[in-house]
Amino acid sequence: MEYSLGWLVALLCIHQCIALAHNSVVSGYQIGVGRADCTGPPVEIAFMGYAQLSQKGEGIHLRQFARAFIIDDGQKRVVFVSVDAGMIGNAVKRAVLQQLTKEFGSIYHRDNVLISGTHTHSSPGGFLTHLLYDLPCLGFIKETFNALVIGIAKSISRAHKSMTDGRLFISETEILDVNINRSPSAYLNNPEEERSRYKYDVDKTLTQVRFVTSSGRIMGAINWYPVHPTSMNNTNKLISSDNMGYAAVLLEQEYNPGSLVGQGEFVGAFAAANLGDVSPNIMGPKCQFTGESCDVLTSSCPANAGQCFASGPGSNIFESTKIIGTRIYEGASRLLHQQSGEEIVGEVNYIHQFVNMTQMKLKHFNPKTKTVEEVRGCFPAMGYSFAAGTTDGPGAFDFHQGTTTDNPLWNAVRDLLAEPTKDDIKCHHPKPILLATGRAKFPYEWQPKIVATQLLQIGDVVFVAAPGEFTTMSGRRLRNAVRNVALQTYEKDVKVIICGLSNMYTSYVATPEEYTSQRYEGASTLFGPHTLTLYADQFVKLFLSMKGEEKIDPGPEPPHLEDKSLLTLQTGVLYDGHPYGHDFGTLKVQPKAHYVPGDTVRVVFIAANPRNNLLHEDTFLRVERRDEARNVWTTVATDANWETLFRWTRTSMILGLSDVEILWEIPLGATPGTYRISHTGFYQYIFGGKFPYNGTSQAFAVDQEG
Decide: helix, strand or coil at residue 539.
helix
Q: 122, 49 in Cβ contact below 8 A?
A: yes
Integer Cα distance of 579 and 137 in angstroms: 31
Instruction: Give Cβ neighbours of residue 100 (< 8 Å, ≥ 6 apart).
Output: 107, 108, 113, 153, 156, 157
Q: Are strands 690-696 and 621-627 parallel, antiparallel or unpaired?
A: unpaired
Integer Cα distance of 356 and 351 in angstroms: 17
Instruction: Give Cβ neighbours of residue 398 (< 8 Å, ≥ 6 apart).
Output: none
Integer Cα distance of 342 and 339 in angstroms: 10
Nearest to 427 by CA among 513, 527, 537: 527
Inter-CA distances, 95 with 2, 518, 519, Å? 64, 36, 35
Q: 354, 450 in Cβ contact below 8 A?
A: yes
Strand partners, 349: 457
Residues carrying an active site annotation: 279
What DSSP string runs through 42-107?
Answer: -EEEEBSSS--TT-EEEEESS--EEEEEEEE-SS-EEEEEEESSS---HHHHHHHHHHHHHHHTTS
By CB atoms closer than 10 A (0-12, 13-18, 19+), residue 571 is exposed
Integer Cα distance of 666 and 352 in angstroms: 48
Nearest to 471 by CA among 685, 273, 176: 273
The crossing angle, in degrees rounded to 10, of helices 142-161 and 90-104 is 40
Nearest to 683 by CA among 575, 592, 527: 575
Integer Cα distance of 78 and 499 in angstroms: 14
Integer Cα distance of 588 and 591 in angstroms: 10
Integer Cα distance of 248 and 240 in angstroms: 12
CB under 8 A, 24+ apart: contacts of 489-492: 489/544, 489/547, 490/547, 492/460
Q: 72, 458 in Cβ contact below 8 A?
A: no
Decide: helix, strand or coil at residue 308.
strand
